[in-house]
Amino acid sequence: MKLRIRGNSVRLRLDRREIAALGLGDTVEERTEFGPSPEHTLRCTVVAREQDTPLAAAFTQNQIAIFIRQEDAATLVNTETVGVEAAQEIGDGRSLRLLLEKDFACLQDRVGEDDTHSFDNPSACSP
């Protein structure tokens, strides 16, 4: 899972294994440790569930939780659909933009990046 936060937007990129796990009803989780104890760990989870909106988010106890509608998780698994996007009202006329999408392999190799389980990049040249 790759997480990008910019202003009031949260963007997640999930690889093939993670998208497949969502389709099976499993929770996908990533952890980033900032120190030796659990209170210094940021957790990010993605859960497929029945809900009215395509995506929803919550933040509690150092955890970003993203909820995707079950039918949208199934669409990501079974079709070429790249992602799901939604805006969540957060009050005072503001909203949080949410985007969950398939992680495509980079077109150029990057040190430290492992694209083993990424989706084939549609912009890659065929041999």
**Facing residues of 89 across strands?**
95
Q: What is the pTM of this model?
A: 0.83
H or E stretch including 88? strand 83-91
pLDDT of residue 117: 61
User: 93: which 2 tokens?
Assistant: 């006329």
Q: What 3-state class would DSSP assign to 123?
A: coil
The rounded distance, in Å, linking the Cα atoms of 90 and 79 is 31
The rounded distance, in Å, linking the Cα atoms of 1 and 116 is 13
pLDDT of residue 122: 64
Q: What is the 3-state secondary structure (H, E, C) of 10-30?
A: EEEEECHHHHHHHHCCCCEEE
Closest of 44, 84, 87, 83 to residue 66, by C-alpha: 44
10-residue block means of pLDDT along the chain (127 residues)? Answer: 96 94 95 93 97 97 97 94 95 97 70 62 58
**Facing residues of 55 across strands?**
68
Closest of 25, 30, 31, 5 to residue 15, by C-alpha: 30
User: 73: which 2 tokens?
Assistant: 């998780």
pLDDT of residue 88: 98
pLDDT of residue 33: 96
pLDDT of residue 82: 86
Closest of 49, 42, 48 to residue 5, by C-alpha: 42
